[in-house]
């Protein structure tokens, strides 16, 4: 697929294009049964139902970053320091608590992850983002960006997941995973963009399939041309809290790290 065409294609189109090759047993292809075809337009109900509240704004009229956790039902609205979505240090602490792991463990959330969330919220002009999962306690051998405070699984109220994914894919230095069965989008920040689709059910083994490789390369090149700086790889053993406080959040949009097949 040529990168110039990839931008306009949906996940459904990718599956439809790949299905014949999968059925023929093309080299490296997995069985076609693993890639079911999405059934029509995504219904915007439940978590995806439009939000009726107005957008919260600071005294200067700038939209606030508003996050609501789906599983705990907690929410937080925070003023940003600029249009790029930088947060004050105390709000970074509040966000770490809001987005804590299911176990209650807390970890700093990379400011660039929150800047990405702010960019998504303001682009779609919604009053909140609904977060399904953020920080997760690391598992042995895992390189998940959730364990680094660099990833969010989220829903944008009133917006289909594929529309959200299409917007974020164009930003550069991001990971974007669409989960049609579980009904959410994974977004993260990373040194090199990577996009995927995963039809696995909740709490089941991931069945990830890379998509739009050409678009990932082009999005990063476009970001570099805009003067955007890639995020550095995550380094184990550093004082994460001190690093994040010192950095706060760069002016450019986001980016995540490690192996490309890890969320």
Query: 3-17, 81-95, 206-220: which range is least confident on average?
Result: 3-17
What's the pTM?
0.78
Element at 76 (helix H, strand E): strand 75-78
Q: Give me the chain's average pLDDT, please.
A: 82
pLDDT for the residue 142: 81
**Tens of pLDDT, residues 135-189:** 999 988 888 999 999 999 999 999 999 999 999 999 999 999 999 999 999 999 9
**Tens of pLDDT, residues 102-134:** 999 999 999 999 999 999 999 999 999 999 999
Q: How many Å apart are CA 95 and CA 17, to the nearest integer? A: 41
For residues 189-198, give the mean pLDDT: 97
> Residues 143, 171, 109, 236: is their CA dihedral positive or negative?
positive
At residue 27, does pLDDT exceed 50? Answer: no
Go through 118-138 and write b for each residue having 16 or more CB atoms within 10 A of its CB, e for each that does not. Answer: bbbbbeeebbbbbbbbbbbeb
pLDDT for the residue 18: 42
The answer to whether 157 and 192 are in contact (CB under 8 A) is no
At residue 20, does pLDDT exceed 80? Answer: no
Query: 17-21, 51-55, 117-121, 155-159: which range is least confident on average?
Result: 17-21
Higher pLDDT, 209 or 259: 209
H-type helices in the chain, by residue range? 3-6, 11-24, 89-98, 111-124, 161-169, 213-225, 240-247
**Tens of pLDDT, residues 235-251:** 655 554 555 555 554 43
For residues 203-212, give the mean pLDDT: 87
What phi and psi values does residue 58 have, to the nearest 5 degrees? -80, 175
103: closest CA among 144, 135, 75? 135
For residues 75-83, give the mean pLDDT: 97
pLDDT for the residue 246: 56
pLDDT for the residue 236: 56
Query: What would you measure as the largest C-alpha separation in the chain, in angstroms?
Result: 60
Higher pLDDT, 137 or 31: 137
Element at 257 (helix H, strand E): none
| Percentage of the chain lying above the pLDDT 70 cut | 74
């Amino acid at each position: 697929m040529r990168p110039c065409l990839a931008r306009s294609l949906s996940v459904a189109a990718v599956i439809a294009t790949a299905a014949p090759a999968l059925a023929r047993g093309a080299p490296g292809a997995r069985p076609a049964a693993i890639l079911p075809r999405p059934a029509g337009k995504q219904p915007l109900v439940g978590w995806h139902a439009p939000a009726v509240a107005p957008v919260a704004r600071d005294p200067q009229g700038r939209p606030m970053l508003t996050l609501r956790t789906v599983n705990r039902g907690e929410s937080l609205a925070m003023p940003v320091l600029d249009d790029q979505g930088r947060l004050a240090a105390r709000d970074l602490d509040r966000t770490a608590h809001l987005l804590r792991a299911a176990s209650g463990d807390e970890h700093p959330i990379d400011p660039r992850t929150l800047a990405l969330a702010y960019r998504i919220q303001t682009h779609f002009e919604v009053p909140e983002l609904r977060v399904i999962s953020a920080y997760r306690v690391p598992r042995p051998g895992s390189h998940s960006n959730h364990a680094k405070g660099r990833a969010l699984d989220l829903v944008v109220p009133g917006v289909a997941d594929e529309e959200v994914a299409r917007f974020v894919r164009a930003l550069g230095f991001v990971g974007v995973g669409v989960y049609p069965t579980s009904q959410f989008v994974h977004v993260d920040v990373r040194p090199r963009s990577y996009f995927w689709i995963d039809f696995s059910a909740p709490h089941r083994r991931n069945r990830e399939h890379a998509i739009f490789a050409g678009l990932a390369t082009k999005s990063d090149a476009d970001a570099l041309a805009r003067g955007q700086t890639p995020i550095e790889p995550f380094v184990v053993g550093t004082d994460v809290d001190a690093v994040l406080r010192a950095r706060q959040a760069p002016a450019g949009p986001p980016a995540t790290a490690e192996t490309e097949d890890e969320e």
